Amino acid sequence: MHSFEYNANPARVVFGSGSIKRLPEEVKRLGKSKPLLLSTPQQKEQVQALEPILKDAGITSAGLFSEATMHTPTHITNQALEYTKSVSADCVISFGGGSTIGLGKAISIRTGLEHICIPTTYAGSEMTPILGETEEGKKTTRSDEKILPGTVIYDVDFTMTLPAALSATSGVNAIAHAVEALYARNTNPIMNLLALEGTKELAEALPTIVNNPQDKEARSKAQYGAWLCGMCLGSVGMALHHKLCHTLGGSFNLPHAETHTIVLPHAIAYNAPKIPEVMEKLANVLPGSDGDAIKGLNVLLTKLKFKRGLKDFGMKEEDVDKAVEIAVGNPYWNPREIEKEPLRETIRRCWAGQEAKADL
């Protein structure tokens, strides 16, 4: 076995249906009494349902900031910071997906306030010490142990109304975290176990959710898988897939989860010649793969009934060359050398919505 290092991220997890009732207990455990609630505008009504739960336990929220948006733009963070100070909040509670949790991280790292997350999607941001922020059209990321939220409450009940299409893309986004962990430069056997188990759980659950969004067992299975995949993202480095998604999302304002879903099979196809052992392991946990991981991913996306072209989400064909230049300008480590022409064809296929093939 190869030598490796392993560091466990010290996050506290409360998992299970109805676990939201333990929110006041978690606030008090931290010695806090005036939490600020965070959400997107779309989830404003849902997050307000937390206030009676807190009030019944003698906790009054400091207020609600409901302007979180994707890619965590710094101007929104600055507005949130001003509001946080004005209401004298002593901790923050993020309710939602990656957009809201990203804002919670941005506030926490700037103020030192404790951060409690209640995820309602499968994005996995709650499990990572990573913060991605956008300023003037460019997305940058940084990693710091202090960014990692201290407590995460996984209550499947809050995922039951997540639309089928968003469930699918959010779940594939989570799978992307796990897949890249399998061939990360600093991967290790523990992360491999988590990555394969998380991928397996999500790949089995997501098609069921798309066909029957009210299947609570499938929802719980997907949330468990997303937790494991998020742990992978938070523990080891990422490669080409995440670089492309940060480039495309931050520079062209493309939706986060949808971009990850479209790019994943193409990024894996690009790297396939250099990671044969990973491709074999991945194929073993993807239903319908017949021993071919790329086929397994293509089959999964077909089952999820998802539009597979970035052009469907606003990217223009002339943006392909610009994306290539940005991606090669500051590349992440990757198992295969970043070659400009194969990379351009990879991005073009993502734009066009073609099936992935390992022929570049």
Residue environment code for 329-343, b if the CB has 16+ CB neighbours within 10 A, otherwise e:
eeebebbbebeeeeb
Question: In the 8-state DSSP scheme, what is residue 43?
Answer: G
Residues 227 and 319 in one domain: yes
Instruction: Note whether 92 and 115 are within 8 A (CB).
Output: yes
Tokens of 325: 């230049």
The string of DSSP letters for 275-338 reads -HHHHHHHHHHSTT-TT-HHHHHHHHHHHTT----GGGGT--TTHHHHHHHHHHHSPPP-SS--
Residues 144 and 175 in one domain: no
Instruction: Note whether 170 and 121 are within 8 A (CB).
Output: yes
In a domain, 103, yes or no: yes
What does the pLDDT look like over 306-318, one tens digit per residue? 899 999 999 999 9
In this predicted structure, the answer to whether residue 180 has a pLDDT above a threshold of 90 is yes
Tokens of 65: 């900031």
Query: Of 174, 179, 181, 182, whose CA–CA distance to 202 is shortest?
Result: 174
In this predicted structure, the answer to whether residue 221 has a pLDDT above a threshold of 80 is yes
Instruction: Say how many domains are in the chain.
Output: 2
Amino acid identity, residue 125?
S
Residues 171 and 142 in one domain: no
In a domain, 6, yes or no: no
In a domain, 1, yes or no: no
Please give the span between the terminal C-alpha atoms of the chain, in angstroms, as a whole number. Answer: 31
Place of tokens 């929104």: 76
Residues 212 and 343 in one domain: yes
Q: What is the mean pLDDT of residues 275-302?
A: 96
Residues 237 and 118 in one domain: no
Instruction: Note whether 53 and 21 are within 8 A (CB).
Output: yes
pLDDT of 330: 78
Q: What is the CATH number of the domain that holds 123?
A: 3.40.50.1970
pTM for this model (two decimals): 0.89
Query: Of 142, 148, 119, 198, whose CA–CA distance to 10 is shortest?
Result: 148
Q: What is the CATH number of the domain that holds 186?
A: 1.20.1090.10
In this predicted structure, the answer to whether residue 56 has a pLDDT above a threshold of 70 is yes
Residues 206 and 119 in one domain: no
Confidence of residue 1 (pLDDT cuts 50, 70, 90): low
Residues 219 and 135 in one domain: no
Domain containing 93 equals: 12-159
Residues 144 and 277 in one domain: no
Residues 35 and 183 in one domain: no
How many DSSP H helices and E strands does the chain contain? 14, 8
Tokens of 91: 């901790």
Q: Which of 159, 180, 212 is the last residue in one of the domains?
A: 159
Q: How far apart are alpha carbons 125 and 234 in whole angstroms?
A: 8
Q: Which helix (H) or strand (E) holds 172?
A: helix 164-182
What does the pLDDT look like over 107-132, one tens digit per residue? 999 999 999 999 999 988 899 898 98
SS3 276: helix
Instruction: Note whether 260 and 250 are within 8 A (CB).
Output: no
What does the pLDDT look like over 260-285, one tens digit per residue? 999 999 999 999 999 999 999 999 99
pLDDT of 152: 97
Residue environment code for 308-318, b if the CB has 16+ CB neighbours within 10 A, otherwise e:
bebbebebeee
Q: How far apart are alpha carbons 93 and 111 in whole angstroms?
A: 14
